[in-house]
Chain A
């Protein structure tokens, strides 16, 4: 009887040493692939592998079972080297049905391993996946050149759980654990963490818990005892910088960043939000921090969400709102109000494919120009972007710093790719974090006269006056204000002055932004690749390879999109060629060309998918040699 969780394999197989491996779990929306992938990820992370994940799921919660529309995938790239992307191609594909195989086969490496659940390849499933009548990829040579493992996961799970006392549906739900067990065996990983987490999840339902653990162990033993698996993989620990790590997704990192930054600034945090994919997880995460005074408000719509946050900021909290493109569009009028009030406000846009409902579960970087210009009137706002899941923490922290210290709403752009993706994070400790200073006015800044709520300091920043402060009662509004007094003014010259003062305040933020330095490569030379946001990993990985081939190409990556770092223009002019890859039609490209008159060239992809390293590499080579 197997009572230990640290199972040791009992038979000899070929052990393949690998630097890094990409595994893709693919199945029906109801097959539990996301959970399986996350469990595999946690275990990999805790065993010291560097990694990057990419969950990909359909917009429909439960599209018809067995169809291509219903395929849900979870991709994990882990290894002993530093990993910056979830990987272009799969070393191992787990396909739970015909539709999953059809969807993901094109991205399996030649010679890669494919594990199929044969129960998902009966005539009904083949038909649902729209294979031609009579065709079966398992039998017709489609999979030639791959190592294919045909396993009836459904039947094996049912057999293993026939005495569990559970109904058929519940038994079937355990088949993902069978697969996970098998994969743990293949990759020589411990089941311990998964068993602990199953126990936490199902502790109060012992039948379900036991069934899941049995399925998991049966999967492991199946790998170990049957002769069909000839290969196991061995990936050693990553040589990451020393330190303590955790695994984190982009949305989690934004939530934590906001909580920590607000506390560092001494401000209560208030989130006004309306659920929207792919931003909702930030609302979910923040609603857990009640003991730290975080108030979350699920509003009736996107407009109420931002307006409630404006109300919270006005009353002395740090107001925050989270959304995606369609919601951003609805919030624009209120953004203008917060802008003319000149109060802190954190506006988070987790970009997805647009326009309109577009591709809700797919990624895109196409809201940059909306963030930049999407308001009526002359209405510039600072814009920050996040480039990796863990980087979302630093981006959120920086957004709060700017917002609070410069009394201005800040837009933070992330996207679906890094919001749901995860990676190891060498998290900071509290004392390593920069101070954030909120300046509340407690006494009249115009002794003997009326308060001057719009009197500015050298950075062009007005004071924050909290309602409840005795003697500083005053009114603010969306109508144009007289300089300093804040009283309503329709004076034409005053309007121009105020427009300029608000714009200058945003420009002056550049004084507190570090100069941009290349992420890799030289500060001048033949070519640079300028990126922003989630293209970071693909560009970085491409350049690691290209530098080995002696390409003189540098990688510049922007955190601050408005204002830009002060040296950006000079830096760009120091390269012969500038390439700007974006998951949009060329939005940063327009801004850069207009502002710095650099003949930059765009590399654009608008397919709802991130760049692969290979396509970035190819494009750089082509442009470099042109």
Chain B
């Protein structure tokens, strides 16, 4: 009898297609968003048994159509505010599994303020930024992550804006988890989503995502066979920093300065920088690689930094629970009367 009940209530194992909604996906052919959608639908069944508890919340932009394609609870909101809305959702109901989706314009430009404040508060949710370094939905203006000098419709003479370095910005805003991955590397993406799921706090993931219409090839250096081994550095906790066509190059630290070394020239792997996800100083150095153009450092991918610290939603709930235990719910009649009353006969 008991086993029967248990079996009846046992969660049905979900599969990727359980997470696909009936809506036709309408991104441009070849858009990197398709891959991200697929990888998320692929990994979710690994750790979600109750999909009614999953909520995807997005802002505005191409990537923000994402929730319509997920057969979970979802909200397509307004430009830049998905982070603020998600904070409300998670604080109001910490039991929900919240994912925030946004682009580089949505999160770093119009939503920049909410983005940094979400990271410092650290509610327990996933925050995925589809970075294509361009405004796609408005048809091709430069974004806050576009490289300086970018020629676009709004900058025919090249942009004169210095871009954000998302990793550096996130770490500066006290992100408790930062990882970078690529649309063209499904396996790596999946691995990063799994790691994000294991993290308690705001897991911020930057996905390099190709926009084939307005910024095609922005990340080709890291995705094309001819260059990717030389230009990309895949970091793993506890592993030395090795890259290059035949894993022949490494990075070692000279004080605070990273130096590229040739393993063929007598440098041992033991002398290399060993990646430590818990080291914030080193995470900042990794973040800076993208801006160290003179020495042409490879672009790191993987989990830069991870730190267990208090989560906003849990702390809010804890105060509520403590107050309930200590004082008990105040009856409505007592709220209405307050402490000082007088009677008129």
Q: Residues of A at under 8 Å CB distance from B?
A: 42, 45-48, 237-238, 240-248, 256, 259-260, 263-264, 268, 270, 272, 289-293, 295, 297, 299-301, 303-304, 307-312, 314-317, 319, 333-334, 336-337, 341, 427-430, 450, 467-479, 487-488
Does B148 sit at the interface, judged by CB under 8 A? no
Other than the known A246-B340, A293-B324, A303-B84, what 17 A-B pairs have Cβ atoms closer than 8 Å? Answer: A241-B344, A244-B342, A244-B344, A247-B340, A256-B335, A260-B335, A270-B91, A290-B324, A304-B81, A307-B81, A312-B88, A317-B93, A429-B336, A475-B74, A477-B75, A478-B78, A487-B23
Shortest CB-to-CB span from A551 to chain B, Å, is: 31
| Partner of B52 from A248, A290, A467 at Cβ < 8 Å | A467
A242 touching B330, Cβ below 8 Å: no
What residues of chain B lie closer than 8 Å to A472, measured between beta carbons?
52
A60 to B255, CA, bound (A): 51
- What residue of chain B has the Cβ atom nearest to residue A47's Cβ? B342
Does B320 sit at the interface, judged by CB under 8 A? yes
B113 touching A315, Cβ below 8 Å: no
Within 8 A of A (CB), among B287-343: 316, 319-320, 323-324, 326-333, 335-338, 340-343
A558 to B49, CA, bound (A): 52
What residues of chain A lie closer than 8 Å to B117, measured between beta carbons?
299-300, 304
Does B95 sit at the interface, judged by CB under 8 A? yes
B329 touching A475, Cβ below 8 Å: no
A476 to B76, CA, bound (A): 6
Within 8 A of A (CB), among B10-25: 21-23
A304 touching B333, Cβ below 8 Å: no
Does B87 sit at the interface, judged by CB under 8 A? yes
Given contacts A299-B84, A307-B81, A469-B52, contact A243 B343 (CB under 8 A): yes
Give the most central of A310, A315, A316: most B CB within 10 Å: A315
A227 to B323, CA, bound (A): 54
Q: What are 9 A-B pairs with beta-carbon distances under 8 A?
A: A47-B342, A244-B337, A245-B341, A270-B91, A293-B324, A300-B113, A304-B81, A309-B88, A476-B75
A308 to B74, CA, bound (A): 15
Does B85 sit at the interface, judged by CB under 8 A? yes
Given contacts A242-B345, A246-B340, A468-B52, contact A295 B77 (CB under 8 A): no
| Partner of B338 from A246, A336, A450 at Cβ < 8 Å | A246
What residues of chain B lie closer than 8 Å to A241, measured between beta carbons?
344
What residues of chain A lie closer than 8 Å to B50, measured between beta carbons?
470
Shortest CB-to-CB span from A57 to chain B, Å, is: 23
Does B71 sit at the interface, judged by CB under 8 A? yes
Given contacts A289-B330, A301-B113, contact A316 B92 (CB under 8 A): yes
What residues of chain B lie closer than 8 Å to A474, measured between beta carbons?
73-74
- What residue of chain A has the Cβ atom nearest to residue B326's Cβ? A291
| Partner of B96 from A238, A270, A291, A315 at Cβ < 8 Å | A315
A337 touching B78, Cβ below 8 Å: yes
A337 to B79, CA, bound (A): 11
A479 touching B86, Cβ below 8 Å: no
Does B51 sit at the interface, judged by CB under 8 A? yes
Given contacts A292-B329, A334-B81, A337-B78, contact A304 B87 (CB under 8 A): yes
What residues of chain B lie closer than 8 Å to A246, measured between beta carbons?
337-338, 340-342
Given contacts A304-B81, A471-B52, contact A42 B88 (CB under 8 A): no
- What residue of chain B has the Cβ atom nearest to residue A260's Cβ? B332
- What residue of chain A has the Cβ atom nearest to residue B53's Cβ? A468
B344 touching A315, Cβ below 8 Å: no
Does B278 sit at the interface, judged by CB under 8 A? no
Shortest CB-to-CB span from B107 to chain A, Å, is: 14
Within 8 A of A (CB), among B101-143: 113-114, 117
A50 to B237, CA, bound (A): 72
A289 to B332, CA, bound (A): 11
A308 touching B91, Cβ below 8 Å: yes
| Partner of A293 from B81, B91, B320, B344 at Cβ < 8 Å | B320
Given contacts A243-B343, A334-B81, A473-B71, contact A291 B328 (CB under 8 A): yes
| Partner of A290 from B96, B320, B344 at Cβ < 8 Å | B320
| Partner of B342 from A245, A304, A307 at Cβ < 8 Å | A245
Given contacts A295-B316, A300-B113, contact A311 B332 (CB under 8 A): no
- What residue of chain B has the Cβ atom nearest to residue A247's Cβ? B340
B67 touching A300, Cβ below 8 Å: no
| Partner of A240 from B76, B330, B344 at Cβ < 8 Å | B344
What residues of chain A lie closer than 8 Å to B329, measured between beta carbons?
291-293
What residues of chain A lie closer than 8 Å to B242, measured between beta carbons?
none
Does B232 sit at the interface, judged by CB under 8 A? no
A248 touching B75, Cβ below 8 Å: no
Shortest CB-to-CB span from A185 to chain B, Å, is: 22
What residues of chain A lie closer than 8 Å to B197, measured between beta carbons?
none
Within 8 A of A (CB), among B40-92: 50-53, 55, 57, 60, 67-68, 70-78, 81, 84-92
What residues of chain A lie closer than 8 Å to B337, measured between beta carbons?
244, 246, 427
B344 touching A243, Cβ below 8 Å: yes
B113 touching A291, Cβ below 8 Å: no
- What residue of chain A has the Cβ atom nearest to residue B93's Cβ? A315
A333 to B139, CA, bound (A): 23
- What residue of chain B has the Cβ atom nearest to residue A488's Cβ? B68
| Partner of B92 from A238, A315, A333, A476 at Cβ < 8 Å | A315
| Partner of B77 from A259, A270, A304, A477 at Cβ < 8 Å | A477
| Partner of B93 from A243, A290, A304, A468 at Cβ < 8 Å | A468
Shortest CB-to-CB span from B330 to chain A, Å, is: 6
A541 to B87, CA, bound (A): 47
Shortest CB-to-CB span from B79 to chain A, Å, is: 8
A242 to B344, CA, bound (A): 5
A157 to B87, CA, bound (A): 52
What residues of chain A lie closer than 8 Å to B75, measured between beta carbons?
314, 341, 475-477
Shortest CB-to-CB span from A240 to chain B, Å, is: 5
A309 to B333, CA, bound (A): 26
Given contacts A243-B344, A300-B113, contact A311 B73 (CB under 8 A): no
A477 to B53, CA, bound (A): 18
| Partner of B73 from A428, A430, A450, A467 at Cβ < 8 Å | A467
Shortest CB-to-CB span from B122 to chain A, Å, is: 14
A311 touching B320, Cβ below 8 Å: no
What residues of chain A lie closer than 8 Å to B91, measured between beta carbons?
270, 295, 297, 308, 311-312
B55 touching A467, Cβ below 8 Å: yes
